[in-house]
Amino acid sequence: MLSLTHFAKSYHNRLVIQVPDWQLPAGIHWVKGTNGSGKTTLFRSIAGMLPFDGQIVLNGQWDCRRHPVPYRLRVNYSEAEPALPGFLTAWELIQWVGTAKQASGMQIDELIDAFGIRDFMKTPVGTYSSGMLKKTSLVIGFLGDPLLILLDEPLVTLDQQATETVSRLIRRYHEQGVSFLLSSHQDFNLTSLPVQSVWRVQEQTLTQEPLTSGPV
């Protein structure tokens, strides 16, 4: 489903993460790592938001660089700490991303109701709590018809109900053929999601871990 070849990302000539070869099958995959290990950098690179060395290809068809439009149409991203313009409303941002990702009005409505953001979605983002901001970012992450959704710390700052909504949506989208890359300090085993593989970002690379072990 996703392949990274000779992938490397550096900041100021300091290597953050390097992945010589990573072939990820369709499914739900969990990426672990300590703070600052490079998870977000990896996710942002896969989302096409950061320049990188190497190659990222989706489904053997869409290269992140050579096919920027079809690739981005199929790869969605929800940020760990959403940085959104404080003067815009969630509704404006959702409309903007939804239009670009070719989301239907019905899908937008469903996601808004699923995360319960209708009451505040027409007030500026700058007035939101961290939980409201996170829900907005999650709605954005599920828009359109993606093949891969990257959820960076999707459960952080969420209440119990929203956590269940995220799990339910991941399961539903997964049944429809959507793959997920999740990064979290919380244990996804507790959410009973069918996690297919677990990876750890450490020492500037990715290593696979057994499904049920290790500290987060």
Partner 1 sequence: MTGILTKVLTRTIVKPFYEQNAGLLAVVFLIAGSFLRAIEHITLAEVAIRTHFVLAIYIGIWAIYGFHTTRFAARVLHDEPFLHHLRLIPVPTQWLVLVLTQLQLLLPVLVYAGFVATMAINAGIWLSLTVILLAIAALATWPLIWYTRILRNPATERFSGKLGSWFSQRFTTPYLFFFLRYLLSRQPVLLLLTKTGTLLVLLGLAALYPTDDYDLRLFGLGGLLAALAHITIVYRLYQFEHESLVLYRNLPVSILRRLLRYMIQIAVLLLPEAILLVRYRPHDQSLTAMLSIWAFALSLTLLEFSLLFKRHRLPDELFPALFWLLIGGFFAIMYQLPVWLLAGSGWLTASILFIRYYPQSVWETR
DSSP structure string for 146-183: -SEEEEESTTTT--HHHHHHHHHHHHHHHHTT-EEEEE
Nearer to partner 1, 70 or 214 (CB): 70
Q: Which residues inside 36-65 make contact with partner 1, applying CB under 8 A? A: 44, 47-51, 65
**Alpha helices, DSSP H, located in the chain:** 39-46, 68-74, 90-100, 105-115, 130-141, 160-175
**Among 29, 32, 39, 101, interactor with partner 1 by CB under 8 A:** 101
What sign results for the dihedral spanned by CA atoms 213, 175, 153, 191?
A: negative
Least distance (Å) between residue 166 CB and partner 1: 19
Nearer to partner 1, 49 or 190 (CB): 49
What sign results for the dihedral spanned by CA atoms 91, 95, 98, 102?
A: positive
Please report whether residue 7 would count as binding partner 1 according to CB under 8 A: no
Helix (H, G, I), strand (E, B) or coil at 75: strand
Nearer to partner 1, 39 or 44 (CB): 44
Of 16-24, 32-40, 67-75, 163-171, the segment contacting partner 1 by CB under 8 A is: 67-75
Are 134 and 180 a contacting pair, CB within 8 Å? no
Q: Which residues inside 130-189 make contact with partner 1, applying CB under 8 A? A: 140
Q: How many helices (H) and strands (E) are present in the chain, helices listed first?
A: 6, 10
Please report whether residue 15 would count as binding partner 1 according to CB under 8 A: no
Six-digit token pair at 6? 């000779």
Nearer to partner 1, 71 or 188 (CB): 71
Nearer to partner 1, 179 or 191 (CB): 179
**Among 35, 69, 119, 215, interactor with partner 1 by CB under 8 A:** 69
Please report whether residue 127 would count as binding partner 1 according to CB under 8 A: yes
Q: CA-to-CA distance for 212 and 136, rounded, in angstroms?
A: 31
Q: CA-to-CA distance for 88 and 74, rounded, in angstroms?
A: 25
Contact residues for partner 1 (CB under 8 A)?
Answer: 11-12, 44, 47-51, 65, 68-73, 75-77, 79, 83-89, 91-92, 95-97, 100-101, 122-124, 126-127, 140
